[in-house]
Amino acid sequence: MGLFIAFALLAVAVLTDVLIVRRVLAPRICDYFEKAPEFQVIPGSPVAGAQEVQFVTADGIQLRGSLLNGQVPNPPGLVLFMPELKGNHWMASRYCEALIRQGYVIFAFDFRNQGESDSATHYAPIHWMTEYEMLDVGAAMEFIESHPRLSTLPILTFGVSRGGVGALLAGCRYPRVRGVIADSAFGTRTMIRFFADRFVDLLLPRWLYRFLPEWHIARTLQRAISVSEARRNCRYVHLEDEVSGLESGNVLLISGGSDSYVSRNISRRIQALAGPETRLWIVPGARHNMARTVNQSEYDRLVVEHAATCLAAEQSTGGVVLAESGPSQSVA
């Protein structure tokens, strides 16, 4: 009798998974997962004196970008800048202004399907990072290695929003990257779980959600991600799976205290995943990607300090979390 009940429960579980999770719940979660937020993106304008750059990815997409400070003598390092979705490489002149003044060479490029780069007709990018964008990052790194001058410089990656995810992943995958600055970055699994907890009422009763085991929630969300990969012909990149490859002392995370998308809890989760020495500055009053607009002087100071620390190795940062109550303060 007991064996019969066990088989009956197993049959119910399998039937529930097939009929509810696979056919109903996962596709509905996928619809929300793919809906890109309406961010106010202000693309940059061409900069006088910049050198235009173009290179080709492993799958044949022509990418374009620019070099700022390309001819400056004895640069302290190279900053590889990655813009947010719907942005362009000219935004580097705004986010990297202080680094430009310090003489760093800035190499910024447009991901495929945005800015001045060519588009892949079979792919429509959204706010989640995929292996297509990482092919673009790989092509940028190959361009650096093939360039007689750039190949000798220590590299720091700097990105905003989805570009910040790319900057972090480049630090995971490429040993030549000696420092990372990520503004408003996030992890795919961390984000989807955050929004599942927050908006579960759109999908099923919250009381029922509370009774679901953790493994079931994780499996359902992963199923939704897989559904999205299949219908969008892409493979998402999960920072959570690769972040252990970072040198935590060489990572600076920046987050807006009033960011309703990448909340401070998400940023702290990414900090915890990256390691105990990862620095996190939460900027009071700043919305998504607006930290520099809210506090330009402190933003520029921290960016320059972090680049000097990572690329010149002239000082030790230690494990620091920059307090929200005052960006120049720190707590252990």
Which range, 30-39, 42-51, 315-324, is most confident? Answer: 42-51
| pLDDT average, residue stretch 139-160 | 95
Per-residue pLDDT tens digits for 158-203: 999 999 999 999 999 999 999 999 999 999 888 888 777 776 766 6
Alpha-carbon gap, residue 256 to 289, rounded angstroms: 7
Helix (H/G/I), strand (E/B), else coil: 51:
strand
Closest CA to 105 of 47, 66, 142, 143: 66
Alpha-carbon gap, residue 38 to 133, rounded angstroms: 20
**Residue 304 pLDDT more than 50?**
yes
Alpha-carbon gap, residue 92 to 157, rounded angstroms: 12
The whole-number pLDDT of residue 315 equals: 33
**Residue 153 pLDDT more than 60?**
yes
The whole-number pLDDT of residue 215 equals: 86
Question: What class is the 51-186+238-325 domain?
Answer: alpha beta
User: What's the whole-model pTM score?
Assistant: 0.85
Domain ranges of the chain: 2-33+189-232, 51-186+238-325
3-state per-residue secondary structure call for 156-221: EEEEECHHHHHHHHHHHHCCCEEEEEEECCCCHHHHHHHHHHHHHHHCCCHHHHHHCCHHHHHHHH
Inter-helix orientation angle 162-173/131-146, to 10°: 60
| pLDDT average, residue stretch 110-119 | 95
Confidence band, pLDDT 50/70/90 cuts, at residue 313? low
Token couple for 95? 């986010």
Token couple for 131? 């292996």
What percent of the chain shows pLDDT beyond 70? 84
Comparing 29-43, 123-137, 217-231, 269-283, the range with the smallest average pLDDT is: 29-43
Comparing 22-26, 63-67, 100-104, 263-267, the range with the smallest average pLDDT is: 22-26
Q: Do the strands 155-160 and 177-183 form a parallel or antiparallel pair, or are they unpaired? A: parallel
